[in-house]
Amino acid sequence: MNSWKTKRQLDIERRYQTLVERFTPNHSLAMNIARAFLWGGAICTLGQCVSEIGKVYLGLDQAGTSAFTAIVMVFLGAFLTGIGQYDRIGKHAGAGSIVPITGFANSIVSAAMEFRREGLVLGIGARMFIIAGPVLVYGVGASVIVGLAAYVVSLF
Amino acid sequence: MMFVKAFVVGGLLCAIGELLILKTKLTPARILVGYVTGGVVLGALGVYKPLVEWAGAGATVPLTGFGYALAKGAMDGVAESGLLGAFTGGITATAGGVAAAIFFGYLCAVIFKPKTKT
Amino acid sequence: MSKRVGEGTVELTSRPWAAAWSSTAGKKEHKGPLGGSFDFTLDDDLLGQKTWELAEAAMLRDTAIRCLDKVGLKPEDADVLLSGDLINQIMAAHFCARELGIPMLGLYSACSTMSEALAVGGILADSGAVRRAVCAVSSHFSTAERQYRTPLEQGGQRPASAQWTVTGAGATLVCGRDWLPEGVKPAAALRYATIGRVVDYAVRDMANMGAVMAPAAADTLARHLLDVGRTADDYDEIITGDLGKVGRELMLELLKEKGVKVDPSRVWDCGANIFSPEQDTHAGGSGCGCSAAVLNGYVLGRFAKGEVRRAAFMATGALLNATSVLQGETIPGVAHLVVLERERG
């Protein structure tokens, strides 16, 4: 398919590339990183509060605490997405609201809401993981590899 | 003190993500995949565990923590039940969060409607 | 009869009329600098429909009906509907046509569909093949986001070069010389149509549509001026579609490289002007409804008042395809140009 490209076309493309870079604005780096830091830090601090509640008040063990924290944080992300606030946070926070597990929840819930109109099965059911699916594929896939490696190591 | 450490470590992990988005034009989906895979690798190498012990939720709430939990689960699974654990360990350790996301996602989709941005 | 001029321009020798025009815009667009020029503003951008897609189709239908209604015509008085939008398989246009019952040619050239429709409508009316053609085009923020980008409620930042898909529609009634409804004062006549080439300068960035379209825009404008033997100064205004702030600068730079002299103060972009900087859309508006609503509100309105006498309207389209982008292909662009002239008297 690239055979249509003459040398002249390739030259033009290269020169245009530099032109585009010159004219395309970028967001301020420092400002956005600072905001991501503050929002991300705040969300993680909230997570720490949830985890203390689980450990101290509910008397959960270590595995229980981490599951409790994950479930509560996912709920918060889902709820804020449902009432239409998470995207507004995301506009300011950038990666600060994408990287925490609340962002993982947001990507699932927003997709489920968006495709509700395509039906309960093929809409919500099939499209819920359009963004978060790869996270599970690579996360779980990698964990199986790690497990297999651990098993091989355990044999010796 | 734990709260301050959680804030700083969590904030830093997010700030690195923002830097990646702005500098490499990676989409959020790729950032998430990178973070979770990175967490699995760091967890397997034993690098992430000290961070979790030091910063608590600052290390577990970001998606690298999800990856760490997957890797830890798989390794614990192997220690407990051998080869089978390599397959069951990761998902077992993270089942709470994933099931919650599916459940609340479905609930929200039925209750709420997406709104146009202004 | 239509006549070929130069390499790729059609002269519409009978000069068919742009007889009626109507525009619809969403709330955010209404709050922008051109807000007062749209005929109709949507209170609810779902228009009481079940889905965003049906809402866009309803908006397009209502805009076409309002356009005909302005000159006392009914859908059956039009011979052809030339229509397109951004939804896959131009769904809004087809669903609008399903209700109007006008024989329809579906058009797609992304955000340059408005000028494509005027070009086709002008040629058909000029040749006598049709008496009256309705050219109607729309886009909707919420249908475009879910198809090309992310779910509405997903949190994240838009890059500084990103543009905001306009919720809006525009319709123009093009009439052959002898088919102007009685007592109607047309805004302008269609004089030339330059059909755009698909140009690809290997841009991959989905968040920089201005950069995708600028080479096509520069190509079409340069070819047009050469074909008709005019300079840019022969036009009161050169109106581009949705290059946005980034694309406009790039087009002017490319024209300079081509040796085409253009006075930047005569060139303005619908996308760069439809929103104010405070509305935080970054590089401006986009979508076929952007240039369609601005043409059929602000531009033809000023033609009717005699404030503009001769303008080149060049809507620009980024031929983005969700599949090809995933497959690593670059994004081609296209720009069609039509010349609108107001006759003396």
Q: What is the pLDDT of residues B71-111, one digit of tens each?
A: 999 999 999 999 999 999 999 999 999 999 999 999 999 99
Which residue of A74, A87, A146 is in closest CB contact with B117?
Answer: A87
CB B58 within 8 A of CB A44: yes
Residue B22 in any domain: the answer is yes
Question: In C, which residues are within 8 Å of B117 by CB distance?
Answer: 141, 152
Distances in whole angstroms, Cα of residue C90 to Cα of each of A117, B25, C97, C110, C144: 19, 30, 11, 10, 12
In this prediction, residue A2 has a pLDDT band, given cuts at 50, 70 and 90, of low
Three-state SS across chain B? Answer: CHHHHHHHHHHHHHHHHHHHHHHHCCCHHHHHHHHHHHHHHHHHCCCHHHHHHHHCHHHHCEHHHHHHHHHHHHHHHHHHHCHHHHHHHHHHHHHHHHHHHHHHHHHHHHHCCCCCCC
Domain count, chain B: 1
* Inter-chain residue contact A44 with B63, CB threshold 8 Å: no
Q: What is the pLDDT of residues C245-278, one digit of tens each?
A: 999 999 999 999 999 999 999 999 999 999 999 9
The residue count of chain B comes to 118
Residues 130-159 of C with CB under 8 A from A: 146, 150-157, 159
Architecture of domain C15-179: 3-Layer(aba) Sandwich (3.40)
Least CA distance to B21: which residue of chain A? A95
Average pLDDT, chain C: 96
* Predicted local distance difference test score (pLDDT) of residue C345: 47
- What's the CA gap between C334 and C345, in Å, rounded? 36
User: Domain C189-341: which topology?
Assistant: Peroxisomal Thiolase; Chain A, domain 1 (3.40.47)
Tokens standing for residue B103:
């459940």
Q: What is the pLDDT of residues C312-333, one digit of tens each?
A: 999 999 999 999 999 999 999 9
Residue B78 in any domain: the answer is yes
Question: In B, which residues are within 8 Å of A128 by CB distance?
Answer: 102, 105-106, 109
**Rg, C-alpha atoms of chain A:** 22
Neighbours of chain B (3+ CB pairs under 8 A): A, C
What pTM, to 2 d.p., does this model score? 0.95
CB B27 within 8 A of CB B41: no
Q: What is the pLDDT of residues C27-36, one digit of tens each?
A: 999 999 999 9
- What amino acid is encoded at C128 in this protein? G
* Predicted local distance difference test score (pLDDT) of residue A3: 74
Q: What is the pLDDT of residues A56-91, one digit of tens each?
A: 999 999 989 999 999 999 999 999 999 999 999 999
Mutate to test the interface with B, among A99, A110, A155 (most CBs of B within 10 A): A99
Question: Which range of residues forms the domain containing residue B46?
Answer: 2-111
pLDDT reading at A126 higher than 80 = yes
Show Cβ contacts of residue C214 under 8 Å, excluding neighbours closer than 6 positions.
Answer: C243, C247, C248, C250, C251, C254, C316, C333
Complex prediction ipTM: 0.94
pLDDT reading at B3 higher than 70 = yes
Nearest to C138 by CA among C20, C244, C293: C293
Mutate to test the interface with A, among B108, B117, B118 (most CBs of A within 10 A): B108
End-to-end Cα, chain B, rounded Å: 40
- What's the CA gap between C266 and C318, in Å, rounded? 23
pLDDT reading at C133 higher than 50 = yes
- What's the CA gap between C299 and C236, in Å, rounded? 12
- What's the CA gap between B55 and B62, in Å, rounded? 12
* Inter-chain residue contact C27 with B114, CB threshold 8 Å: no
Tokens standing for residue A115:
């495709």
Q: Is C195 helix (H, G, I), strand (E, B) or coil?
A: coil
Domain boundary assignment for chain A: 33-114
- What's the CA gap between C260 and A93, in Å, rounded? 44
Using CB atoms within 10 A of its CB, is residue B38 exposed (0-12), middle (13-18) or buried (19+)?
Answer: middle
- What's the CA gap between C288 and C292, in Å, rounded? 6
Nearest to C315 by CA among C273, C270, C260: C270
* Predicted local distance difference test score (pLDDT) of residue A88: 94
CB B9 within 8 A of CB B51: yes
- What's the CA gap between A117 and C143, in Å, rounded? 12
Q: Of the segments A128-132, C110-114, C204-208, which one has the largest average pLDDT value? A: C110-114
- What amino acid is encoded at B31 in this protein? I
Tokens standing for residue A114:
């968006």
- What's the CA gap between C227 and C196, in Å, rounded? 13
- What's the CA gap between C249 and C112, in Å, rounded? 19
Neighbours of C22 (CB within 10 A): 26
List beta partners, residue C18.
C174, C188
Nearest to C118 by CA among C34, C198, C17, C23: C17
In this prediction, residue C287 has a pLDDT band, given cuts at 50, 70 and 90, of very high
Residue ranges matching CATH 3.40.47.40 in chain C? 15-179, 189-341
Nearest to C163 by CA among C204, C195, C209: C209
